[in-house]
């Protein structure tokens, strides 16, 4: 009977040991530069057009906010896409991840130093550029993609991001200028402390089980 209990505990502990936690962060404000606009249509050129953000401020990180820490912002979220692979800037499409980047920079002592790189990576797989709504000359888009990169402690991590971008007029579309109106990012970061404790527990359970077998 005790062997059954031990085996059950092992079976329950193994999937828990593989679990990971997600760290959520948000950003707002800033602009987006759109390259490769051509002619008077503002459609963007496939294989040339890219998006690059500038000055988007981090507003929250893993439950910490600008209000709770007394800061105007916690740092910056910067990204760039690869070239437009299909569709158009105006109507929506897909960007390549090749040559893309995505970084999270922490500001102030909360990030253990000024301008500390918390996450440094890039998009992986296609980056969706979705037209969400049109109101007059204002066009609202969402940039959605998966991420892979390096956490501040050297671990390789993955994540997802959704960035909300508006182009406020046809004139801004033609010159390739967009405005950031908020973004959310989730980074999946394994918990080494928890995994270590679970691993120790598993070793103990395995030893107990071995002694029981020998005893019989």
167: confidence class by pLDDT, cuts 50, 70, 90: very high
Domain hosting residue 98, numbered range: 21-189
Q: What is the DSSP string of the chain?
A: -HHHHHHHHHHHHHHHHT--EEEEEEEE--EEEE----TTT----TTT--EEEE-EEEEEETTEEHHHHT-S-SEEEEEE---EEEEETTTEEEE--TT-EEEEEE-SGGGTSTTEEEEEEEEEEEEEEEEEEEETTEEEEEEEEEEEEEETTS-EEEEEEEEEEEE-SHHHHHHTEEEEEEEEEEEEE--HHHHHHHHHHHHHHHHHHHHHHHH-
> Do 58 and 137 reside in the same domain of the chain?
yes
> Do 90 and 105 reside in the same domain of the chain?
yes
> Do 5 and 77 reside in the same domain of the chain?
no
Q: What is the pLDDT of residues 109-158, one digit of tens each?
A: 666 656 789 999 999 999 999 999 999 999 999 999 999 999 988 999 99
> Do 1 and 51 reside in the same domain of the chain?
no
> Do 80 and 159 reside in the same domain of the chain?
yes
**pLDDT of res. 116:** 85
Q: What is the pLDDT of residues 14-27, one digit of tens each?
A: 344 344 569 999 99
> Do 127 and 198 reside in the same domain of the chain?
no
* Arithmetic mean of pLDDT, 184-211: 59
- Percent pLDDT > 90 in the chain is 55
> Do 67 and 118 reside in the same domain of the chain?
yes
190 or 194, greater pLDDT: 190
> Do 196 and 130 reside in the same domain of the chain?
no
> Do 81 and 167 reside in the same domain of the chain?
yes
> Do 50 and 34 reside in the same domain of the chain?
yes
> Do 149 and 60 reside in the same domain of the chain?
yes
pTM of the model: 0.78
> Do 57 and 135 reside in the same domain of the chain?
yes
- The domain total for the chain is 2
Q: What is the pLDDT of residues 57-99, one digit of tens each?
A: 999 999 999 888 888 899 999 999 999 999 999 999 999 999 9
């Amino acid at each position: 009977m005790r062997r059954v209990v031990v085996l059950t505990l092992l079976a329950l502990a193994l999937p828990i040991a593989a679990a990971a936690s997600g760290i959520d962060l948000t950003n707002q404000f800033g602009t987006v530069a759109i390259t490769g606009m051509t002619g008077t249509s503002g459609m963007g050129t496939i294989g040339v057009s890219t998006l690059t953000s500038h000055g988007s401020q981090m507003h929250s990180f893993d439950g910490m906010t600008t209000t709770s820490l007394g800061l105007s912002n916690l740092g910056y979220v910067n990204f760039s896409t690869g070239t437009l692979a299909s569709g158009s800037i105006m109507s929506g499409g897909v960007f390549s991840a090749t040559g893309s980047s995505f970084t999270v920079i922490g500001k102030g002592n909360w990030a253990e130093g000024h301008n500390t790189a918390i996450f440094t990576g890039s998009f992986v797989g296609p980056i969706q550029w979705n037209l969400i709504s049109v109101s007059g000359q204002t066009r609202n888009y969402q940039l959605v993609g998966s991420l892979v990169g390096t956490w501040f402690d050297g671990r390789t991590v993955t994540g997802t991001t959704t960035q909300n971008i508006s182009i406020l007029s046809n004139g801004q579309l033609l010159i390739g200028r967009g405005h950031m109106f908020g973004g959310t990012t989730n980074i999946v970061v394994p918990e080494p402390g928890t995994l270590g404790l679970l691993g120790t527990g598993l070793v103990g359970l395995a030893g107990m089980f071995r002694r029981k077998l020998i005893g019989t």
